[in-house]
Structure 1
């Protein structure tokens, strides 16, 4: 299982950006099923990963913000009695190993047999930020350090590669969590050279994009730690940021290649399933943001590739799926008994036929009772105050026109609303959120204290 932090659709196989260079991820996509309409349970690392690993939706657990990995079990009865994905495989006779960022910080104690560690923070950093001087943020961009060997992801890739060279007398479940392209967008110069600034295309951007969204949408997506597109344009940094993100994606693609090459040359090449996913998407200037943490397409959509053992043919599915579906899907693929606590859908019917009938929607939750419902055609958002957004991707894939108040779409909204979660658990007191004033207040109301994360 290959996990890529903050990866949006800027990979070649998804066609998200014309300047993308990701030969290794593309190769994997050409050998398995690429889900082009996959969405995160939450548009933020901590709650998304907690949801994926427990098989429980954020609205069930109340984990809406970052949480200490070892606090997940303390949240409520559901999490207390859940088995993490790795533990379920371990219970059924698998050897389990992980390295890097798998949960939010690293791993929950005891959730894997072996853990190769996770670098504290997000890699080596220059003595002072190269571009972005805002305090209390990892956001920055530019070439650094000099060599791939200095990057934590290099160590993680080789740790897993070495595990694949070993003799295993049990089936195994291995997870490798890469840090890039999470900020800071620092990778060695050679990756920047792959993407000359003068040749880059900029993402579609409309300056007044947020004028037709509800006030709450602006409040919960306001993250002053990150630059705005307006700032990037006025300061001549937009192309540099796009270059840095593309460079970071190309770098992590090469790390993915190290692992895939090791698997291909190992004795396990023909009996090992491979899954690659990003924990959520990322805005690169769209809607005036360089951030995740919204309920719009750019923040929820992420790559998902599943390659069963021995499969070598490319399949593409445009059906709406959730990363919450990974747990039951991997369990079914490997012939294990169903875990009845899982709230996701088994995707194996789409692995057999990517165009199979599919009545499900993908749900993304950001804070208590704020949800996005994604189908093949529509994105419907309902916020905790009842306000709404609706986008028709058939005519508006950039989500520039909110048609929630258009009477012609009333029936569509009614149908989409049927997918909204019926349970909306209160914010857990173990969940911390400090990069947004609106949600910081919510977590304080839930009983969270500064001492929780010290």
Structure 2
């Protein structure tokens, strides 16, 4: 058997995954993530990690480049952002230039389809992989998709009911090909492999058994939701309500769809993890597990992304260094913008020029993370997490500040009269200035 090449990187990305540790039993029924749990038993879980944009493409542009959204110019939905922000700016290109064999499968950089070949060639060493995308309810309307059944709720709750239908699911194929890569790669160069799952992004299609893991009747809305939520008009403009929470049964079915998809993603991650740990790369591969952003799960009449509250900004981030396989929990705020320089640090490559991201490698050995303000922006609207507080300033000048230690659902705006408001306002202005936001969004 050939020797395992030097340091490798396996990046596993989820789509729309909430920071699940905050939701373990919050809805009255335990979330099932046995594989992530066993991975965390020998990894570092960053439980206060934040996306830089709560929307797919700009978030991925930021964490795959290490560049702040306003520095790259990718601050909103942009399916063609690589035409403006060249692929040479993404850190897989730096890895390829540094001698790694670079490969990817699924949604990592942009979208569920393969990248255009000219872009793929710049970033990766192999040929593009193509995947079948899960049908959404509107595509088959009044006829049922063969091999599937519906469980109800938002987006229909589609489930694969036959082995043939299950094998065709996007995430199953992504895992199959990642496993094949780990089983078959025999190059002399170290590798980077991206593994991009669709789940738990809608339409939340899973094998039937994952829907049946959850009893919708057992879900309960948190007591904090009672009385509803208040919010400034500016919040509704960037993230409109899209879900009516008045029908409790519909909400319970919808939550079952989401949680089953999260558990399905967990199962696929477990398959890839087991393949890695059974391979010759087990002791030489950094594993990064991350989501591009979170999702509202019915609160604020939303089953969507896009806002600047904690439930969308906070995401799971798990990093496994085989040299320090210990369970650690980091609650200091960090950003997805840190992933690129963490990878560069692990591989002993130069830091990314112009990146405000910091390597998280010291935290894998127990060093506390620096006290920082971590931004999440949507256009020129900006929020920061610093210490126990979330401070948001919308482009129109409206502000919100919440104490997350006592008000995780963010129902009570502390307002300018709070003792910490001035310090948070200054931290917000300094953070926005450093990350390139225009003065209107960072003015004191």
Q: Structure 2 length normalisation: TM-score? A: 0.85
Write out aligned runs for 1:199-210 (5 A): 199-203=218-222, 206=225, 208-210=227-229
Match of 2:102 in 1: 96
Match of 2:243 in 1: 227
Partner of 2:189, secondary structure, is coil
Match of 2:232 in 1: 214
Match of 1:112 in 2: 124
Checking the alignment, whether the CA contact within 8 Å between 1:67 and 1:104 is kept in structure 2 is no
- Root-mean-square deviation (CA), in Å? 2.6
For residue 263 of structure 1, report the CA deviation from its aligned partner.
Answer: 0.5
For residue 387 of structure 1, report the CA deviation from its aligned partner.
Answer: 0.8
Partner of 1:276, secondary structure, is strand
CA distance in structure 2 between the partners assigned to 1:377 and 1:7 by the alignment: 22
- Structure 2 residue 302 is the aligned partner of structure 1 residue 289: yes
Checking the alignment, whether the CA contact within 8 Å between 2:45 and 2:329 is kept in structure 1 is yes
For residue 72 of structure 1, report the CA deviation from its aligned partner.
Answer: 2.3
What runs of 5+ residues in structure 2 fail to find an aligned partner? Answer: 1-10, 145-152, 440-444
Match of 1:181 in 2: 200
For residue 252 of structure 1, report the CA deviation from its aligned partner.
Answer: 1.0
Match of 1:58 in 2: 69
Match of 1:134 in 2: none
- Structure 2 residue 337 is the aligned partner of structure 1 residue 337: no
For residue 248 of structure 1, report the CA deviation from its aligned partner.
Answer: 0.5
Write out aligned runs for 1:38-437 (5 A): 38-69=49-80, 71-74=81-84, 79-80=85-86, 83-105=89-111, 106=113, 107=115, 108-110=119-121, 111-115=123-127, 117-119=129-131, 121-123=133-135, 127-128=140-141, 140-146=155-161, 147=163, 148-166=166-184, 167-203=186-222, 206=225, 208-211=227-230, 213-223=231-241, 226-230=242-246, 232-233=247-248, 236-354=249-367, 356=368, 358-367=370-379, 369-422=380-433, 423-424=436-437
For residue 8 of structure 1, report the CA deviation from its aligned partner.
Answer: 0.2
What runs of 5+ residues in structure 1 fail to find an aligned partner? Answer: 132-137, 427-454
Between the two proteins, the alignment pairs up a number of residues equal to 407
For residue 407 of structure 1, report the CA deviation from its aligned partner.
Answer: 4.2
Checking the alignment, whether the CA contact within 8 Å between 2:136 and 2:203 is kept in structure 1 is no
1:292-347 Cα deviation digits (max 9, x unpaired): 11000011111000001233210000010110110001100111122222221221
For residue 12 of structure 1, report the CA deviation from its aligned partner.
Answer: 8.6
Checking the alignment, whether the CA contact within 8 Å between 2:49 and 2:335 is kept in structure 1 is yes
CA distance in structure 1 between the partners assigned to 2:52 and 2:189 by the alignment: 32
1:74-103 Cα deviation digits (max 9, x unpaired): 2xxxx4495311111101110011001012
CA distance in structure 1 between the partners assigned to 2:55 and 2:287 by the alignment: 24
Bigger shift: residues 316-325 or 15-24: 15-24
Q: Structure 1 length normalisation: TM-score? A: 0.83
Checking the alignment, whether the CA contact within 8 Å between 2:132 and 2:170 is kept in structure 1 is no
Partner of 1:421, secondary structure, is helix
Checking the alignment, whether the CA contact within 8 Å between 1:282 and 1:291 is kept in structure 2 is yes
Report the CA distance shift for 1:425/1:81 in structure 2 as closer, same or farther (over 3 A).
farther
Bigger shift: residues 339-348 or 248-257: 339-348
CA distance in structure 1 between the partners assigned to 2:392 and 2:276 by the alignment: 41
CA distance in structure 1 between the partners assigned to 2:431 and 2:190 by the alignment: 38
For residue 168 of structure 1, report the CA deviation from its aligned partner.
Answer: 2.5
